[in-house]
Amino acid sequence: MTKVARPELRELGERNFLWAKAHMGALTTLAGKKGEERPLQDVRLGVCLHVTKETSVLVDALLGAGAEVALAAANPLSTQDDIAAYLSTRAKVWAWRGETAEEYDWCIQQVLATRPQQLIDDGADLHVAAHAKGADGIVGGSEETTTGVVRLRALESGRGLAYPVIAVNDAMTKFLFDNRYGTGQSTFDGIMRATALLIAGKEVVVIGYGWVGKGVAMRARGMGGRVRVVEVDPVKAIEAHLDGFEVSGIERAVETGDVFVTATGQKNVVPYGAILKMKEGAILANAGHFDVEIEVGKMLSEAKGVREVRPNVEEVLLPGGKKVYLVARGRIANLVAAEGHPPEVMQMSFANQYLAALEIHSKHSQMENRVYGVSREADNEVAAAALESMGVSIGEPTEEQKAYSKSWTG
């Protein structure tokens, strides 16, 4: 079910689907080769992903492999309604932009009501909901993002997983490019579409220097921002320091920061107390999966006033009289205030999702109920297809070099 399904919206969705497809050669080439014999014929797939133009290309590939797809959104605000409208002509879709928390859960329940045999998830809400219902008939699934993998590993070591899950996030062709280059670019796309302000000359505080944080910091610097990194992992903090960034705790960062971007997967990394000490006009945005990183709830409940000054920008009048600006309500800014990652990045993430769906289907009976990584072979296959789509060719080691790397005599 999509709330808005006017014909012109469907047409726009189709145009966006075709645009993305034309830039996702790695996925379409692999799907073209592997999907020919319809390896997922009549397999019911339950999917919970951000409903973007790139996701429509994955759904197209899965349908081409013979699967039946039931889709819900991975965030209440990230659905692109044109894509939902277009996909609803080809699959079962329960997604619209601006779902309430109850509607979001309801959509996920609708996907489970189709009795999926395999799940594809982003953030693990679908997996967790499936486990709460006993996971009957589900033979396996995959997970797209860091936070989802963290939750599934916690489930695995806690009450136990009911089926095997492939952690697509852990593929090198996923986290190195999607988390870093995808989020790096699209987070600023979101902040800039929302605020229309200049990044150059501003102090951008990046909280978390993992794969997402590295990308955000890199792009902030590229646009002339002065970057400060806040980390709690000593190794990552050294990395940020040697990459040439200021490194400090949040207490120091609030004194000079202009734009704060969270990228940790952890809660309250920008606590309300820190927000109170920020400069007038500070901008707050989150790139992490859930809206828990900035202490938004407390800030809004204590605020003297909150008003939307632009789409996706709320002005928050703090008790002391200062104003700060919240982008995308503290939700995943690149997907709420922009369109998520570019298709050239998602071609790799979703090629991995496609291969994971095939692997679960063909090998689930030999797999244990645990979280699996992605094999080096699959990573190389996706990387080779992506290189080809980008028009980049590389060499390979000579026979002499291969022998040399296996010898100890020199």
Ligand X SMILES: NC(=O)c1ccc[n+]([C@@H]2O[C@H](COP(=O)([O-])OP(=O)(O)OC[C@H]3O[C@@H](n4cnc5c(N)ncnc54)[C@H](O)[C@@H]3O)[C@@H](O)[C@H]2O)c1
**Of the candidates 2, 179, 185, 352, which one interacts with ligand X according to CB under 6 A?**
179
Measured on CA atoms in the order 219, 216, 24, 57, is the torsion positive or negative? negative
Distance of closest approach, residue 165 Cβ to ligand X, in angstroms: 15
76 makes contact with ligand X (CB under 6 A): no
Q: Which is nearer to ligand X, 40 or 230 (CB)?
A: 230
- Rounded to an integer, what distance in angstroms lies between the CA atom of residue 206 and that of residue 75? 22
Distance of closest approach, residue 264 Cβ to ligand X, in angstroms: 4
Cα distances (angstroms) measured from residue 222 to each of 199, 207, 210, 262: 10, 18, 18, 18
Distance of closest approach, residue 189 Cβ to ligand X, in angstroms: 11
236 makes contact with ligand X (CB under 6 A): yes
Distance of closest approach, residue 266 Cβ to ligand X, in angstroms: 4
25 makes contact with ligand X (CB under 6 A): no
**Of the candidates 76, 140, 265, 330, which one interacts with ligand X according to CB under 6 A?**
265
Binding mask 308-347 for ligand X (x = CB under 6 A): ------------------------x-xx------------
According to DSSP, the residues that pair with 306 across neighbouring strands are 316
89-118: which residues touch ligand X (CB under 6 A)?
none
Q: Which stretch binds ligand X (CB under 6 A): 71-79, 140-148, 351-359, 374-382?
A: 140-148
77 makes contact with ligand X (CB under 6 A): no
183 makes contact with ligand X (CB under 6 A): yes
Q: Which is nearer to ligand X, 239 or 315 (CB)?
A: 239
**Of the candidates 70, 207, 318, 336, which one interacts with ligand X according to CB under 6 A?**
207
210 makes contact with ligand X (CB under 6 A): yes
Distance of closest approach, residue 269 Cβ to ligand X, in angstroms: 4
145 makes contact with ligand X (CB under 6 A): yes
**Of the candidates 225, 288, 342, 343, which one interacts with ligand X according to CB under 6 A?**
288
Cα distances (angstroms) measured from residue 291 to each of 99, 187, 330: 15, 14, 5
369 makes contact with ligand X (CB under 6 A): no
**Of the candidates 230, 285, 360, 382, which one interacts with ligand X according to CB under 6 A?**
230
Cα distances (angstroms) measured from residue 107 to each of 21, 56, 70, 120, 326: 26, 18, 10, 15, 27
232 makes contact with ligand X (CB under 6 A): yes
208 makes contact with ligand X (CB under 6 A): yes
- The residue of the chain with the least Cβ separation from ligand X equals 210
Mention every residue, 6+ apart, whose C-beta is less than 8 A from residue 392: none
**Of the candidates 263, 285, 371, 385, which one interacts with ligand X according to CB under 6 A?**
263
**Of the candidates 46, 213, 342, 343, which one interacts with ligand X according to CB under 6 A?**
213
| Cβ atoms within 10 Å of 115's Cβ, excluding its own | 12
CB of 22 closer than 8 Å to CB of 45: no
> Torsion-angle region of residue 43: left (phi > 0), alpha (psi -120 to 50) or beta?
beta
233 makes contact with ligand X (CB under 6 A): yes
173 makes contact with ligand X (CB under 6 A): no
Q: Which stretch binds ligand X (CB under 6 A): 54-62, 226-234, 309-317, 394-402?
A: 226-234
56 makes contact with ligand X (CB under 6 A): no
- Rounded to an integer, what distance in angstroms lies between the CA atom of residue 195 and that of residue 292? 21
Residues that bind ligand X (CB under 6 A): 145-147, 175, 178-179, 183, 207-213, 230-233, 236, 263-266, 269, 287-289, 332, 334-335
